[in-house]
């Protein structure tokens, strides 16, 4: 299901606490790193997914979603829109509950495919902004 309403976004943020962040940068000034640190400070578990890194923010980093050895609730995508289809396929394959596409990341076909597979999908939004808006 594609989620665009506050109640749906709130439900995801309240219940999906293990987040695989695809495209997490080790650079502290990058938006992905800022968002990851914020989410970790709010009690979320953030699992970095970046094939060029071994560790980010003190967490083991994985080359892809299928390499993660624990159950993932949310796949948060900090990649170009064109990169989304295989990420959505992997999110489906690992049994994630939601696919969250960051601000500016828009891929309707991949979103529909993930939604049809049972994932809650949020597109073109940032969880950090939504948490601040809905919970603070």
Give residue-wise pLDDT tens across range 123-134.
Answer: 999 999 999 999
**Mean predicted confidence (pLDDT) in 91-99:** 98
The fold of 6-135 is Rossmann fold (3.40.50)
Q: What is the pLDDT of residue 59?
A: 96
pLDDT in tens, 62-80: 999 999 999 999 999 999 9
Tell me what the mean pLDDT of segment 13-24 comes to: 98
Which pLDDT does position 61 carry in this prediction? 98
8 Å CB contact between 24 and 61? yes
């Amino acid at each position: 299901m594609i989620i665009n309403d506050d109640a749906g976004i709130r439900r995801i943020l309240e219940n999906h606490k293990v987040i695989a962040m695809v495209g997490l940068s080790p650079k502290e000034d990058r938006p992905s790193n800022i968002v990851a640190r914020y989410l970790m400070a709010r009690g979320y578990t953030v699992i970095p997914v970046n094939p060029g890194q071994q560790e980010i923010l003190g967490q083991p980093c994985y080359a892809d979603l299928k390499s993660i050895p624990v159950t993932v609730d949310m796949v948060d995508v900090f990649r170009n829109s064109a990169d989304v289809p295989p990420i959505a396929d992997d999110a489906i394959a690992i049994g994630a509950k939601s696919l969250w596409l960051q601000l500016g990341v828009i891929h309707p076909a991949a979103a529909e495919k993930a939604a049809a597979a049972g994932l809650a999908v949020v597109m073109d939004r940032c969880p950090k902004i939504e948490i601040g808006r809905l919970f603070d």
